[in-house]
Structure 1
Amino acid sequence: MLGSNNFLSNIAYLLTMRKILLALAFLIIYSAAYNQQPERCTRILFVLDASRSMTGNWESARKIDVARRLLSKMVDSLDKKDNVEMALRVYGHQSYVPPQDCEDTRLEVPFAKNTAGRIQMKLKMLEPKGTTPIAYSLQQAAKDFPNDDCRNVIILITDGIEACEGDPCAVSRDLQKRGIILKPFVVGIGLDPDFKETFNCVGKYYDASNEDRFEDVMGVVISQALNNTTVQVNLLDAYGNPSETNVGMTFYDMFSKKPRYNYFHTINLKGVPDTIILDPLSDYRMVVHTLPPISKDSISISPGTHNIVGIDAPRGTLLLKRPKGAQYRNLQFLVEDLKGELVHVQSVERKERYITGYYNVEVLTLPRLRIDSVEISQSHTTKIQIPEPGIANFSAYQNGYCAVYVIQNDEVKWVANLPEDESFSSLVLLPGKYMAIYRPISAHNVLEAIKKEFEIKSGASVRVTFY
């Protein structure tokens, strides 16, 4: 008998271990699959100035030769990165000036994987000739990007400003608003200091005042183009502490107005808001989905550092308690701000958190119960008890038309109409004084209507008859 018990115990132990191992295997496979989800691809379009001014000398060589050498080196290193595609657009290289050809721009190498060799070959063949149509080139660049969900980045490398009366700033803003590109990078090669300000509205400007600086700038630009940045969102309570949490957040691109990220705010095991990841190439509008929602505009992210974004989000809790009985089991109520805007439709016996302040509450009872200026305070639960209702039972000798009214402060307010095709019906009503007016369906004289007044008391029923 003892041996039999040991055998059964061993079987139970093996079955338990099998379940544990299967669970661990599932977690390992799930975790691996989660971590191996493909990253969002990045497409980098190099827009290179090959206008006649690029033949000018710049330290060790001509500007075009320095740009050719450093850009060739850069694309070679990028070619080895996963989820990165590159393309090359050039302007000012097809037509000599004069005359001025303000449509002298061309996509020389379209987007694809491993395009470094083709870009390097094209760079070797370039010979600066023409003018500087920056605005038109950016406008045409919109067609260079495939229509999918990649991060689209433009890196403009130039030694001069717009020469064709176009507006590069307006074109850049339009492309960003349409969600075609993120904020461009502009790298100025030996640019006149007086011209630098003209590029601030085009994108993020970097001044390459010499060859070494040019190489450093290109490294910084590529790093920012590829890497996201950490952000901590502090939802501040009424005391200025980042204690509020467990609420959704959406980050919208300020230019395109499209949502870029959705997170659920979390406080980690160390008691601080957990870190999220944002693309530093966009400015954001953050919406925190509290009741009501709160938002913060024009959030700029500094690349390469840990950013902290704070917003006031003090919250308290609202709870409506239903009375005993089953009449109000599925009852709901409206929560409005003091301007009358609907904030939420809440169920009784369910807690919801609201931004601190005052709200008007309208309970969907018969008649509606309105409670104005309900205060919600930090970390406090405001409780409202709904009065226990009563029941009015209506009966008539035949079907007819009947309306029920509540009498409050010498004012008569409509509450409900009874079904026309039923001679018996009931209403659950709040305590108070009421009046019902009934006219048989066969009657055609206003004087044949019957009026009955009655009172509803909590937990009681009353019979209203029309005979």
Structure 2
Amino acid sequence: MIWLAIVGNVLMGQGRQPIEKEPPTTRILFIFDASQSMFARWQSDMRINIARNLLIELLDSLENTPNTQLALRVYGHQKRFPPQDCDDSKLEIPFSDNNVFRIKQRLRSITPRGTTPIAMSLERAQHDFPPCDNCRNIIVLITDGIEECGGDPCAVSRELQKKGIVLKPFIIGIGRDFRADFECVGQYFDATSEIEFRQSLKIVISQALDNTTAQINLLDINGRPTETNVPITLYDHTSGRIMENFVHTLNHRGNPDTLYYLDPLLSYDVKVHTMPPVAVQNIRVNPGKHNIIPVDAPQGSLTLLVGGTTQIAYRAIVRKKGEMETLTTQAFGNTEKYLVGDYDLEVLSLPRILVKNVNVKQSHNTTVEVPQPGIAVIRLPAQGYAKVLHEEGNILKVIHVMRENVQSETIYLQPGNYRVIFRSRASSQTTFSIERAFRIDSGVSTMVNLNY
């Protein structure tokens, strides 16, 4: 549903041409009321004649419209009333190219006869749209009455939209105002006169076919659209379907690049994949205009470093200040962007290091450095059960469990005091336990030998 003309920096750097998506095919299904009430007089003629002639006039204007297909479903035209037959709905002309003449001919031959099964017609309409990966499915309901068969057009319409089968339908009410009955079904147009009916048809088709563009402004702390290079996902607000993914781009003038062919019939949810992500929900774009969608996404950066020259692959769990949910894990030696705010870090070292209240500022790099670890080479007299404990005052805490089938291990430890407690697998008495205290300094290897 969205055609994006965004050029990736990687592609441009390789001299490749950007691949533009084909614009979608707009498929418009007209559901036409041919119930018995359409014989009623309405201004200059019968309702059926006025509605038929004006729809034919509209079809003539659509005949050569590119990327557009039309279809016609009619209800109330097959069985006379009474008795009431609520199964009276039929797809008369299916979707195809160059079928305007066939639709016009069928409209001219229709005679109103029966009742008004609107909910059933909407439900069956979902099967009128053949499978298509790049189509916009639109229903235009033209009626002079409300549901007469006990169905719920509102519930059917909501379900069709939720499933992503069709966009929000258009309803044109002929003769009197049915707004209270149809606003929950879709976008309602009141046509109490011939002039209003003609205008309503034009507005509906204009909204269905007009291209709409937009730009997403990622705002910094000062409200300026300077943030960029962030993945963004657009969702259909009603169905929750992913509509498009792209990386936000500033063009050569420093302005957010333009998104083409956003659908004015949809409501969008925008998720900006900053860290943490930012979401804006239920965005409507105005048809035929360039829309600006502002999103507050002020960012700074965070660099994690290990002191000294030891090469070790530490990572840190990053959380929002005071919260337990993990946002991400960041590797030491890397710089990553975060939204402006305060964060808590848990460094996955031995023992773990907690760094609280790390402040990330707009367009500023915050650096967190942890001490260089030392190395403990632990040698056991035999295979057995051994654990390394970190000592803080009188508090001992297990930080490492040695493997039972080895007699030597080398581990990186943060500076501090430690103890290793061991008993051979072959020993059956606690008195054979061995304890050894040792200290680790940054960048220094320490031998911890339990053999003597």
Secondary structure at 2:49 match in 1: helix
Match in the other structure for 2:98: 114
Match in the other structure for 1:183: 168
Distance in 2 of aligned mates of 1:260 and 1:64: 39
Q: Deviations over 1:121-159 (max 9, x none)?
A: 210110111111111110111111112322111111112
Distance in 1 of aligned mates of 2:92 and 2:440: 84
Distance in 2 of aligned mates of 1:167 and 1:73: 31
Distance in 1 of aligned mates of 2:22 and 2:360: 44
Distance in 2 of aligned mates of 1:177 and 1:68: 31
Gaps of 5+ in 2: 1-13
1:107-256 superposed matches below 5 A: 107-149=91-133, 150-190=135-175, 192-193=176-177, 195-256=178-239
Contact 2:310 2:373 in 1 (8 A): no
1:294 aligns with 2:278: yes
Contact 1:327 1:428 in 2 (8 A): no
Distance in 1 of aligned mates of 2:149 and 2:383: 83
Distance in 1 of aligned mates of 2:308 and 2:95: 69
1:360-379 superposed matches below 5 A: 360-379=344-363
2:242 to 259, 267, 270: 259
Contact 2:220 2:226 in 1 (8 A): yes
Contact 1:96 1:129 in 2 (8 A): yes
CA deviation after TM superposition for structure 1 residue 369, in Å: 1.4
- More contact order relative to length (CA 8 Å, sep ≥ 6): 2
Deviates more, 1:430-439 or 1:195-204: 195-204
- Matched residues, number: 436
Secondary structure at 1:142 match in 2: helix
Contact 1:153 1:182 in 2 (8 A): yes
Matched-pair identity in %: 45
CA deviation after TM superposition for structure 1 residue 39, in Å: 2.5
CA deviation after TM superposition for structure 1 residue 40, in Å: 2.0
Distance in 1 of aligned mates of 2:76 and 2:302: 66
Q: Deviations over 1:149-176 (max 9, x none)?
A: 2211111111222222221111100100
CA deviation after TM superposition for structure 1 residue 231, in Å: 1.5
CA deviation after TM superposition for structure 1 residue 384, in Å: 0.4
Contact 2:213 2:290 in 1 (8 A): yes
Distance in 2 of aligned mates of 1:280 and 1:365: 52
Secondary structure at 1:90 match in 2: strand
| RMSD of aligned alpha carbons | 2.0
Match in the other structure for 1:23: none
Contact 1:335 1:345 in 2 (8 A): yes
CA deviation after TM superposition for structure 1 residue 409, in Å: 4.3
Match in the other structure for 1:404: 388
Match in the other structure for 1:7: none
Contact 2:310 2:372 in 1 (8 A): no
Distance in 2 of aligned mates of 1:75 and 1:451: 92
Q: Which has the higher helix share?
A: 1
Match in the other structure for 1:13: none
Secondary structure at 1:385 match in 2: strand
Matched letter for residue 150 of structure 2: E
TM-score (norm 2): 0.92
Matched letter for residue 262 of structure 1: N
CA deviation after TM superposition for structure 1 residue 240, in Å: 2.1
1:53 aligns with 2:27: no
Change (3 A) 1:47 1:79: same
Q: Deviations over 1:261-316 (max 9, x none)?
A: 22322222333322213111111111111101111111111112222222221211
Match in the other structure for 2:4: none
Distance in 2 of aligned mates of 1:51 and 1:411: 86
Matched letter for residue 181 of structure 1: V
Superposed structure 1 runs of 4+ greater than 4 Å apart: none
Distance in 2 of aligned mates of 1:201 and 1:408: 66
1:320 aligns with 2:269: no
Match in the other structure for 2:408: 424
Match in the other structure for 1:21: none
Secondary structure at 1:70 match in 2: helix
Matched letter for residue 297 of structure 2: A
1:274 aligns with 2:250: no
1:35-114 superposed matches below 5 A: 37-114=21-98
Distance in 2 of aligned mates of 1:347 and 1:371: 15
Q: Deviations over 1:380-437 (max 9, x none)?
A: 2111011011011111222222111111243221111122222222111000111111
Deviates more, 1:382-391 or 1:243-252: 243-252
Matched letter for residue 212 of structure 2: T
Secondary structure at 1:340 match in 2: coil
Contact 2:359 2:366 in 1 (8 A): yes
